[in-house]
Structure 1
Amino acid sequence: MTDTNLFQPGTTVVRRTSTPGRVWTAMPQRVVDTGHVLTLAYWPGIESLAPTT
């Protein structure tokens, strides 16, 4: 399977960073290119999740 089978340009994906057993941050991003490196973009006004103090 190649990367182009996983993500199509124009698709919205959610990028998550996590610690063991828990999501730390989550941000929607748009797939721009699916060459050898997956290229993502985000835009002004998106809502993301992150921990606060």
Structure 2
Amino acid sequence: MVLWPAVALVGFFVLTGLVIAMGTSTTARYERERAAASSVPARSAAEPVGARAA
């Protein structure tokens, strides 16, 4: 009788741990890509779009 609630509880904790692990690794990858993108200087055009000569 007590077996199935225990299995459900263990399964819940396993799946919760899996979701946390996946979220942590995805967040770390996002932060690395964001840091790499901000360290590369953006290429700027000779004249900004919409600029008018006086």
Please say whether Structure 1 and Structure 2 have the same fold, judged by a TM-score greater than 0.5: no
Provide TM-score, normalisation by structure 1. 0.20
More strand by share: 1
- Structure number with the bigger relative contact order (C-alpha 8 A, sep ≥ 6) is 1
Kindly name which structure, 1 or 2, has the bigger radius of gyration based on alpha carbons.
Answer: 2
Query: TM-score of the superposition, structure 2-length normalised?
Result: 0.20
Flag the structure with higher helix content: 2
